[in-house]
Amino acid sequence: MCHSLMARTADPNRREAILDAAHTIFARKGYAAAGIADLAGELGIGHGTVYRYFDNKRDVAAAVLDRALTRIAEVVTAEDPGATDDLAGYRAQVERIGQRLYDLFAADRALGRLVFFDLGAVDDELRERLHAAHELFAAYTAAYLRNGVAKGFLRADLDVDTTARVVNGMIFEGAAQVSRTEDPRPLRERWIRAVVALLFDGVAAR
Amino acid sequence: MCHSLMARTADPNRREAILDAAHTIFARKGYAAAGIADLAGELGIGHGTVYRYFDNKRDVAAAVLDRALTRIAEVVTAEDPGATDDLAGYRAQVERIGQRLYDLFAADRALGRLVFFDLGAVDDELRERLHAAHELFAAYTAAYLRNGVAKGFLRADLDVDTTARVVNGMIFEGAAQVSRTEDPRPLRERWIRAVVALLFDGVAAR
Amino acid sequence: MCHSLMARTADPNRREAILDAAHTIFARKGYAAAGIADLAGELGIGHGTVYRYFDNKRDVAAAVLDRALTRIAEVVTAEDPGATDDLAGYRAQVERIGQRLYDLFAADRALGRLVFFDLGAVDDELRERLHAAHELFAAYTAAYLRNGVAKGFLRADLDVDTTARVVNGMIFEGAAQVSRTEDPRPLRERWIRAVVALLFDGVAAR
Amino acid sequence: MCHSLMARTADPNRREAILDAAHTIFARKGYAAAGIADLAGELGIGHGTVYRYFDNKRDVAAAVLDRALTRIAEVVTAEDPGATDDLAGYRAQVERIGQRLYDLFAADRALGRLVFFDLGAVDDELRERLHAAHELFAAYTAAYLRNGVAKGFLRADLDVDTTARVVNGMIFEGAAQVSRTEDPRPLRERWIRAVVALLFDGVAAR
DNA sequence: CATGAATGAGTCTTCATTCAT
DNA sequence: AATGAATGAAGACTCATTCAT
């Protein structure tokens, strides 16, 4: 009876489970207020066990952040920046990315709290990783823009690198918004339409 | 010599000085890593003195945040949303706000670190204040857009409220960028030009 | 206008007023929880002023205790231990002392809290003073008993010194009880009757 | 090896050891002057360990008080209030209780310091527990007296409830005395004899 | 003399981390 | 491997006391 509760073998899913718990708890209480014991308690394991999988608390946060950023990056980098040849194709592509990103943050509201609030405050190094991800995303967006300029369906005078960051700002503002909203589903189309309209045509009347 | 109406906590300069120090230190080390003793040490005062002006460490952070948000709000709300009657006027207004905002964050790089990273992670309540400021700024931006739609120089079909948030996202991404950059001065015109171009005309070729 | 509020001359009543306030506040919050600022606040004076009249907080407590013990001693030592020549006279004397003591503690419920609880815990030295007062009261009681034995109206075999302490225990238990009771007036006669009956005749049926 | 029902806080001996140390230290230095570090130091354990067994310092004091009062209650309530049928039996009973109580306080002089001085000053709530214990003891004493009145060997006109408190006052004064005396053993018989003589027969000559 | 701003010694308390079992 | 008891560094906070005005 007792032996069924005792150690078996190293569980490779255990690490993931800890990260899941940390993802939830860090988002719920904030990194500083969350304790290692909270993570372990969520999983019903001893808190010493966490140290078999991570060096320390900060290391858990780093892994949580990396996983979160990877998940976001998978959406951002899912499309091929050079695949489109006209405005309509690009617009469709942007809409697709927008929808996936929106759905990602809507499905896991903790995600936005972590990347926009909690984990950026942990550490200079984590902030740096966040920044690096921003740069990566900006590079991707820039590639899209560069492709459009090269193929002639985007303005020739576009400051591609700067505009890429501006565009990302619009998009991530939406993601942050989603993370704050109780039920963000109803706003999905509205948000995407607003972003796409602004991005392609601006606000000026024609 | 006779101060019949001396403030509860005597010296308002002292309070302000503590906030200045906290602004600097919180941005340098992060809220969690900064100690009350660090603030006091920066000013060469006893750390007990801090408690004559603030209830506790979190209270200092709240005051720092409020001051920071007020400073930003002063720029954001400096212009009159109803003052412009044509596209050129509005464009000039946006440029002015952009420049002032850019200069604000360039002149005090700690400001961005505080509002975009450190202070939003302190507390649910501080995150809420940050959110409230976002809402205020969005309301202001929406007023500008509504004015333009009403006067006919902005698209009639604009989703004003959502677009306002999108626009703020672009702008604050710039501010965040500025706060990360060693010497942000050279990029000023480039940023503003990119934002204004995107905002008014979009990226699509004509 | 302002000068009327400024320093005049040393006020000899000031010290008494501080002791009054300390008497009240110490009994209300306990010595440890009460601050010098509380005493000063009660009087509407600056808390630095307390240090013109007392060396430190403990010194205030010592003075409060001394005053309290003096007040009690005045009652205890008001009668002449050698004045009575018979049982009836002694009984009347004990009743008088009991009534006065009861009234003293009933009129100032803080008094009991201070001498039975708060001030005995401050310090070894204050506990010692409390003990010395106990000894003094015991000596007085012993003198009464010795007088009665000498004059033949009290048992010849009385262990005067020990019995004196026992008697004081009965009496001060009443005082402690009074200090805990919201309105102790109604119980006065009952208490005194019980003490006197026990003291003179014991509980055994005749 | 398999403790399927291990206590929340593992080692009950450790908890007891901390209470022992606290008992000693609180009595030696007083509650206010004693630090958690003193308790831990006495045991040679880390001071954080104390917090595995108690919520805070006050909680330790509460547990020390409860244990002390339980120990006293065990003596006070050891006899059966209805067991005696005549004066001699009751007198023997009182002597037994007196002896045990005397021995208890003589064997552990800290006990008296704690219950008569230090722990009653900690807190309103602890004072309340002390008071509740007083009430319990008074109820017990009242039961003895009531039995004696019912069986006719105590005065019929006894105010049982008030007299019970008076009697407890005598007894606990002895306990307090014991706690103050360097070597209280020699005084044992003298004290008990004085209490019993007073209690049963009073001081009046026959 | 009175004031109250400033001070900093002193403590409690938390919790990440270690390590014997 | 897993556990959780033990540890102690670290820091927030209080408040008696001082002293310049």
pLDDT in tens, A126-153: 999 999 999 999 999 999 999 999 999 9
- DSSP code, position C11: -
pLDDT per residue as tens digits for the range B50-63:
999 999 999 999 99
Q: Which residue is nearest to nucleotide E6 (CA to C1')?
A: B49
CA distance D46 to chain C (A): 26
Average of pLDDT values for D153-167? 95
Nearest nt by C1' to B51 Cα: F13
Helix/strand/coil for C154: strand
pLDDT one-digit tens code per residue, D101-140: 999 999 999 999 999 999 999 999 999 999 999 999 999 9
Beta bridge partners of residue B204, listed in sequence order: A154
Max mean pLDDT among B19-23, C81-85, C197-201 falls in B19-23
Of C188, B69, A117, give the one whose Cα is nearest residue D162.
Answer: C188
Place of tokens 């060096």: A55
Checking if the pLDDT of A6 tops 60, the result is no
Among residues 43-82 of chain A, which lie with CB inside 8 Å of chain B?
none
The Cα-based distances of A204 to A171, B199, C178 in angstroms read 20, 8, 85
pLDDT in tens, C88-141: 999 999 999 999 999 999 999 999 999 999 999 999 999 999 999 999 999 999
Nearest C-alpha of chain A: how many angstroms from B48?
Answer: 24
Per DSSP, B116 falls in state I
pLDDT on residue D57: 98
Choose among D148, D159, D177: nearest Cβ to C190.
Answer: D159
- Contacts for D164 with CB less than 8 Å, ≥ 6 apart: D138, D139, D141, D142, D145
Least confident of A37-41, A157-161, B165-169, C7-11: C7-11
pTM of the model: 0.91
Question: Which residues of chain C are within 8 Å of residue B1 when distances are taken between CB atoms?
Answer: 2
Distance CA A150, CA A90 (A): 13
Q: Closest by alpha carbon to B68, among B112, B33, B99?
A: B112
**Residue numbers in B 58-87, CB below 7 Å of strand F:** 58
Within 13 Å, how many C-alpha atoms sit on residue A60's CB side? Answer: 31
Q: What is the average pLDDT across A77-88?
A: 93
| Chain D residues near residue A2 by CB distance under 8 angstroms | 1-2, 4
The nearest CA of chain A is from the CA of D2 a distance in Å of 6
- Please give the pLDDT value at position D9: 57
> Which of C189, C143, C186, C171 is CA-nearest to residue C72?
C171
**CA nearest neighbour of C7 among C35, C64, C46, C55:** C46
pLDDT value of position B4: 39
User: Average pLDDT of chain A?
Assistant: 93
The CA-atom distances, in angstroms, between C59 and each of B28, B115, C126, D4, D34 are: 46, 51, 10, 56, 20
Q: What is the pLDDT of residue B10?
A: 65
Cβ neighbours for A35, distance < 8 A, ≥ 6 positions apart:
none
Instruction: Calculate mean pLDDT across residues A103-127.
Output: 96
Residue B192: the pLDDT is: 96
- Enumerate the β-bridge partners of residue A204: B154
pLDDT in tens, C131-161: 999 999 999 999 999 999 999 999 999 999 9
Residues 6+ apart with CB under 8 A from D93: D79, D83, D84, D144
pLDDT at A4: 39
Nearest-CA distance B3 → chain C (Å): 9
**Nearest residue (CA) to C1' of F4:** A46
Residue D27 pLDDT greater than 80, yes or no: yes
Protein-proximal nucleotides of chain E (any atom < 7 Å from a CB): 1-20
- Arithmetic mean of pLDDT, A194-198: 96
In this prediction, residues B105-116 reach a mean pLDDT of 97
Instruction: Specify the amino acid at residue D175.
Output: A
Please give the average per-residue pLDDT across D45-57, as a whole number: 97
Instruction: Return the CA Rg of chain A.
Output: 20
The CA angle A190-A196-A199, to the nearest 5 degrees, is 135
- Residue C62 corresponds to which tokens in the numbers above? 């010592």
The per-residue pLDDT of chain D, averaged, comes to 92
- Give me the A residues in range 3-22 that sit within 7 A (CB) of strand F: 7, 9-11, 14
**What percent of chain C shows pLDDT beyond 90?**
92
> Which two structure tokens, joined as six digits, stand for A56?
């320390």
Residue B119: closest CA among B54, B180, B69, B56:
B69
Distance (Å, whole) CA C89 – CA C77:
16
Q: How confident is the model at residue A92 (pLDDT cuts 50, 70, 90)?
A: very high
Q: Which of residues 105-134 of D touch strand E (CB under 7 A)?
A: none
C138/B146 Cα distance (integer angstroms): 91
Nearest to D199, CA basis, from C199, C195, C173: C199
The per-residue pLDDT for D149 is 95
pLDDT of residue C204: 84
pLDDT band, very low/low/confident/very high, at D11 (cuts 50, 70, 90): confident
Residues in A closer than 8 angstroms to D4, CB to CB, are 1-2
Contacts 24+ apart (CB under 8 A), C21-28: C22/C60, C22/C61, C22/C63, C22/C64, C23/C64, C23/C67, C23/C68, C23/C110, C23/C111, C23/C114, C24/C110, C26/C61, C26/C64, C26/C110, C26/C114, C26/C118, C26/C119, C27/C109, C27/C110, C27/C111, C27/C113, C27/C114, C27/C118, C28/C110
Who wins on pLDDT, C169 or B7? C169
User: Residues B191-205: pLDDT tens digits?
Assistant: 999 999 999 999 888
Kindly report the backbone phi and psi dihedral angles of residue D138, in degrees, each rounded to the nearest multiple of 5, phi listed first.
-65, -40
Any CB–CB contact under 8 A between D5 and chain A?
Answer: no
Judged by phi (left if over 0) then psi (alpha if -120 to 50, else beta), residue B54 lies in beta
Give the Cα separation of B150 and B145 in Å (integer).
9
Phi, psi of D60 (to 5 degrees): -60, -45
The reply to whether D51 has its C-beta less than 7 Å from any atom of strand F is yes
pLDDT, mean of residues A155-173: 95
Can you read off the two tokens belonging to residue D179? 């706690």
For C106, what's the count of Cα atoms within 13 Å in the CB-facing half-sphere?
Answer: 15
Contacts 24+ apart (CB under 8 A), A78-81: A81/A140, A81/A143, A81/A144, A81/A146, A81/A147
- Return the SS3 of C157: coil
Residue C24, pLDDT above cutoff 90? yes
Whole-number CA gyration radius for chain B: 20
Both tokens assigned to C163:
């019995």
Which of B101, B122, B166, B196 is the best mutation test for A, with the most CBs of A within 10 A?
B166
